Amino acid sequence: MSNNLRHQSEPGYPGSELQSEPGYWGSELQSEPDYWGSELQLEPDYLGSELQSDPGYWGSELQSDPGYWSSELQRDPGYWSSELQSDPGYWGSELQSEPCYLESELQSDPGYWGSELQRDPGYWSSELQSDPGYWGSELQSDPGYWTSELHDPGYWGSELQSEPDYLGSELQSDPGYWGSELQQTPRLQEIMGTNVEGHLKATLVLLGKQLHL
């Protein structure tokens, strides 16, 4: 509780800035009619109101149109919602066995992303491992990939560390920004360990391994 209160009351924390600084996105969400927050609430042609009032918009259709995924999720035994609970066509089994279902296509149809993820060198999965022109391999080998470019002053990574007008440097140097607080807050360090950068890198490695499963 004390940590939450401190997180909300410290002027250098994202919570307080989000609520108090008119130049920050939090306050703008609440006060500026030209910002997306207020528009979501005020303008009938904007996403928020349409989601509530326009039957031709996805919000109402999600609730009323049997041809839409929401209602099908609730009523159609051929849809994933009901199958998720009762049918051997539950997403686990169907994903592996039924040729007309998503997962089997993912595994058997070379025109589908699943199989391509495993077999097609022109798809992102294999390219993640072998093609130096793809983001996956670049993640590990290409100096143009975002990790290596984190040290390149022409890339967003290095700017994150060096350019005072860029997000990254503010993240590290400006006590009124969330980045520096992420590094200075004892509670965060207690959770993630003192080596925050090492923790994040390890997390990226784990995510990369999961993509190859």
Q: Dump pLDDT digits (tens) for 35-73.
A: 443 334 334 444 444 444 444 444 343 444 444 444 334
User: What angle is formed at CA 166 by the lines to CA 146 and CA 164, rounded to 5 degrees?
Assistant: 120
Query: For residues 183-203, b (16+ Cβ closer than 10 Å) or e, as one string?
Result: eebeeeeeebeeeeeeeeeee
pLDDT at 207 over 60: yes
- pTM summary value: 0.13
Q: What is the mean pLDDT of the chain?
A: 43
User: What angle is formed at CA 70 by the lines to CA 101 and CA 67, rounded to 5 degrees?
Assistant: 75
Summarize pLDDT for 62-101 with one digit per residue, the tens. 444 444 444 334 444 444 433 344 444 344 443 333 334 4
- Asked if 15 and 6 count as a contact pair (C-beta separation under 8 A), the reply is no
Please report the pLDDT score of residue 31 as a whole number.
43
Summarize pLDDT for 132-147 with one digit per residue, the tens. 444 433 344 434 344 4
Please report the pLDDT score of residue 181 as a whole number.
38
Please report the pLDDT score of residue 184 as a whole number.
42
